[in-house]
Every structure is written in structure tokens, then in C-alpha cells.
Amino acid sequence: MGIADLLAGVAGRGDFGVWLGRLDGHPVFTHAADRAHYSASTMKLPVAIAMTRKVDSGELALDQPVTVHNDFASAAGGRFGVNPAEDEAPNTWTKMGEQVPLTWLTTEMITVSSNLATNLVLEQTGVDAANAVLAEYGSGQSVIRRGIDDTAAQRARISNLMSPADLAAVLVAVGNDKSPSGEYVRDLLAGNTWNGEIPAGVPAGTRVEHKNGWDTGIRHDGGIVRPDDAEAFVLTVCTTSDLPDQDASRLIAEIAAAAWDHRHDLEAVR
């Protein structure tokens, strides 16, 4: 079944966006790719890139100590904390009050999608630096305006947004970055342990450098897939729908499988 057929099968169930192409940045298949969705944890990729840029400039260091805490400045004014019940990565919470290296937090942010670690890294980089990554590569539809669980900002309609096309643009940039920082980010993405979407649609053992995100009614994933027998390709899928989580994850995996089946002639994808 082709990607268009898979999307037709969920027509009327919500908003679905797809971008598929190679590392040259040119798409071979798109569907509502410019429509922005709530970003969920896909925003953690630009945060990681912002961090590496500040390391490269000397403003931060990978081994610098950061005290783990749960009190952050809200984008709407005041303070907020991460809800531990909604953070599915417990390791950072076991370090409360302790100092850990910035690189440890960044690894927690990407590989296990820790919300607390994300806000700690974002506190070091600043929201503006993370948003600047999207502004550089994206269309302007995608933004980072606040940390995770900033409910006051959410009530004030200050949100983080991501479109499939803009997530793809960031991944293309990461995939073409030959610097040590580029390799560092790609290795982080390849170490992602939440693999129920794009990686589930390609053969086991395939290197997939990806960052996914989820929330109520939301499942996204975007990654660079590196077959051993074909050129790498970039796939991003954003879903905001009434699909059960398992069905949304399965849809993304099936789209990845369709792309994989055409990896030798990606332009033939339909």
C-alpha cells in the first residue's frame, strides 16, 4: 500500500502531514507538509542543536555541571515545574539537587525524551537560541516559545509548533553537518530508545537518527533512515488526530515501510 493510500485510510480523522526526501533537501512526496502541529518532543532536536552551537562558540561546555532542579521561568511570567507524572524518563528525577554534566542531560533529553532534562538544557541555551535554529532552517511556521509543561504559557496560547517540512529541514541540516557537533547530534538521535514509529517500519538493525514526540491525540516522528544498500532518506510524519496512540504509531511505521520499499527509487513513492 502506498503512502497516499495509507493517508486516505485515515481521512477525516484529523490532520496528517508527511515529508519524504533525500539529504539533498528536495522532497519526493509531501502531504500537508507545511501545516504546523503542536510540536510535542520534536522541539528537543532544535534545543540539542542550539546547545552544540553554544558549546562550539565557547559559551557552554559539554562537561559543565548543571544542578538538577524543577523550577523554571514561564514564558507567560512567573514560575512553573515539570509534572513528574507526565515525564516517562525517570533517571533525571533521581538526580534532583545534584550536579550532572550538560552532555548527560542532553542525552537524557534525546534518547529517553526526558522533559525535565529538556527544560534544564533549554535553561542553559535560552529559548531564543533554540527558536533561532528553526528560524534558520524552517519556513517560519515552526517555533519554540516555551519549555515543557509551561501550563501558564499554554493557557496564554504561547505554544511550540512544528511542521513536517520544517522538521525535515532541520534533519537535512543535521544529516549534512560534517563537524564533530553534527556527528554528536546524529549519534544522539540514533540512540533514541522510543522506537515505535519510523524504526518499527524498517528492518531491525537499520540506523535511524530520529526524534519523535507525543501528547494526547498527537504522534510525530522525524528521522534520517540509513539503509545499507541505498542512499539515506529523510522522513517526517506529524499526526494530530483522534486515532488511538497505537494506531497513530502504526500509521507512521507503515508510512516508513512504504518509503523503505522504494529506497532504491524513492521518486517512485506514491
Question: Confidence class of residue 30 from pLDDT cuts 50, 70 and 90?
Answer: very high
Same domain, 86 and 152: yes
Q: Are residues 108 and 168 in the same domain?
A: no
Alpha-carbon span 34 to 167, nearest angstrom: 10
- 138 and 171 inside one domain: no
Residue 71 and residue 185 in one domain: no
Please report, rounded to a whole number, the percentage of residues in the chain having pLDDT higher than 70: 100
Based on the domain organization, do 44 and 157 belong to the same domain? yes
Q: What is the mean pLDDT of the chain?
A: 97
Residues 248 and 230 placed together within one structural domain of the fold: yes
78 lies in the same domain as 153: yes
HEC secondary structure over 77-102: CCEECCCHHHCCCCHHHHHCCCEEEH
Helices 102-111/115-125 angle, 10° precision: 130
Residue 270: inside a domain, yes or no? Answer: no
Strands (E), 96-227: 99-101, 161-162, 207-215, 218-226
For residues 99-106, average pLDDT: 98
How far is it, in rounded angstroms, from Cα 163 to Cα 161? Answer: 7
Overall average pLDDT of the 28-52 stretch: 98
Indicate whether 80 belongs to any domain: yes
Residues of the chain with pLDDT > 90, as a percent, come to: 99
Categorize the per-residue pLDDT at 249 as very low, low, confident or very high, splitting at 50, 70 and 90.
Answer: very high
CA contacts within 13 A on the Cβ side of 163: 19
Domain shared by 79 and 58, yes or no? yes
**Pair 49, 157 in one domain:** yes
Give the CATH number for residue 197: 3.40.710.10
Instruction: Look at residue 212 and tell me whether its pLDDT is greater than 90.
Output: yes
Q: Are residues 62 and 24 in the same domain?
A: no
Q: Is the residue at 269 inside a domain?
A: no
- The whole-model pTM stands at 0.97
Query: What tens digit of pLDDT does each residue of 153-207 get?
Result: 999 999 999 999 999 999 999 999 999 999 999 999 999 999 999 999 999 999 9
Does residue 31 sit in the same domain as residue 93?
A: no
CA dihedral of residues 236, 242, 243, 246 (deg, nearest 10): 90
How deeply is 42 buried, as exposed, middle or buried, from its count of CB atoms within 10 A (0-12, 13-18, 19+)? buried
User: Any idea which residue has 535553561 for its cell?
Assistant: 123
Pick from 142, 161, 180: which residue ends a domain?
161
Render the burial of 67-104: b for 16+ CB within 10 Å, e for the rest. ebebebebbbeeebbbeeeebebeebeebeeeebebbb
Domain count, the chain: 2
Structural domain includes residue 268: no
Question: What is the reported pLDDT for 1?
Answer: 82
264 sits in the region (left: phi over 0; alpha: psi -120 to 50; else beta) called alpha
Q: Are residues 46 and 155 in the same domain?
A: yes
Please write the tens of the pLDDT for every residue from 163-173: 999 999 999 99
Which residue, 161, 190, 218, sits at the end of a domain?
161
Domain residues for 21? 1-35+163-263
Residue that has been written with the C-alpha cell 510535542 in this structure: 40
Domain end residue (candidates: 161, 176, 192): 161
The two beta strands, 72-73 and 14-22, are unpaired
